[in-house]
Structure 1
């Protein structure tokens, strides 16, 4: 049984690599049973060759951003993917420095069919750190802080969250009497519990990444409520 806890990930706070990830924003996604090439294809990523370690990935992403004009900006980025051993076989690890979920919804639904996806992220310099667990195409649990969870089964991971060190009561509420814990380290421990993939600095630094340029995702159309603005005689002037 995997007994990893937040203590096993204390190294992240002295890691220059993880410091770069937190400062610039990142998403690290683990997908079971899919090859790196399959994952990048599902992300509609344009192949960009290979990169040796995170140094190669960062260099490729920096080169892409340097191509932008001074007055132009988009959310495309270079992602890197490689295979890592974990529970029930190999997993694909995808790393991108874009500070979001990293995988668009249709992509997640396709890749998680009959499988599992676990992702954690930070948006870079701001206190937003997210966790997502997908199972067979559905979002089972997601949270920013572990005592405020959402998803189709938001309480399913409460026991495991407590085991890795998150300050929760057995009912899943915030336990203010529990000792302080590094919440990011606890999230990485939770990801290992769900995947069997032990994340280390050397694993990320030394891997041979398949690289792909992930295009900017279209904004979802937002529709607000219709509000009738009447005049004093109750006749509609316009609708907002």
Structure 2
């Protein structure tokens, strides 16, 4: 295995100061929106938001067999929600509030958290055997242990989903934007 550090410089602007969640679910966008309590027919097309202002809508787009969810809050850290959203499939989420140095990462399989890492607590679970080699490679690439959103989370996403999240990928995708009930937000 030979991971290459991703370019995450595009996250330095608004995304570095504001909160965001990126959630990857192996399901269709329509299924994900329905599981989040939204109505697909109420979501409208648009580009990736460069300014994730608080109370912005939730965005979804297809990337291969996966749905990518962009959300300007802590949705990706709500354990009840992400485990429910992962039932019957795989979910990977990363969330950050760069200005406060807070970030989280979760990997869920069929309703269970397989791996969690976040905040100032570090590992929230033990590292599963499937991630040992990847974590060793991340330690090699990042010996100074930067925040997850400065690269490591994106490498874990790539390993678990096959998706290399880049600025170009997100800005060239057409998203559908809409709201979900506030009861589903943490």
TM bucket by the smaller chain? 0.7 to 0.9
TM-aligned CA distance change 1:50 to 1:218, over 3 Å: closer
**Cross-structure match for 1:123:** 97
- When normalised by structure 1's length, the TM-score is 0.65
**Cross-structure match for 1:228:** none
User: Are residue 35 (structure 1) and residue 35 (structure 2) matched?
Assistant: no
TM-aligned CA distance change 1:179 to 1:107, over 3 Å: closer
| Counterparts of 1:147 and 1:102, CA distance in 2 | 17
TM-aligned CA distance change 1:180 to 1:108, over 3 Å: closer
| Counterparts of 1:218 and 1:38, CA distance in 2 | 15
| Structure 2 unaligned spans of 5+ | none
**Cross-structure match for 1:3:** 2
CA RMSD between the two structures: 3.0
Residue 77 of structure 1 deviates from its aligned partner by 4.4
User: Are residue 180 (structure 1) and residue 114 (structure 2) matched?
Assistant: no
Residue 162 of structure 1 deviates from its aligned partner by 1.5
User: Are residue 78 (structure 1) and residue 72 (structure 2) matched?
Assistant: no
- When normalised by structure 2's length, the TM-score is 0.81
**Cross-structure match for 1:93:** 68
Match of 1:24 among 2, 6, 18: 18
Question: How many residues are matched?
Answer: 181
| Counterparts of 1:216 and 1:97, CA distance in 2 | 13
TM-aligned CA distance change 1:12 to 1:189, over 3 Å: same
User: Are residue 166 (structure 1) and residue 166 (structure 2) matched?
Assistant: no
- Please say which structure displays the higher CA radius of gyration: 1
| Structure 1 unaligned spans of 5+ | 66-75, 169-177, 221-240
| Counterparts of 1:36 and 1:201, CA distance in 2 | 20
Secondary structure at the aligned position of 1:54 is classed as coil
User: Are residue 142 (structure 1) and residue 116 (structure 2) matched?
Assistant: yes
TM-aligned CA distance change 1:83 to 1:146, over 3 Å: farther
Secondary structure at the aligned position of 1:29 is classed as strand
TM-aligned CA distance change 1:54 to 1:179, over 3 Å: same
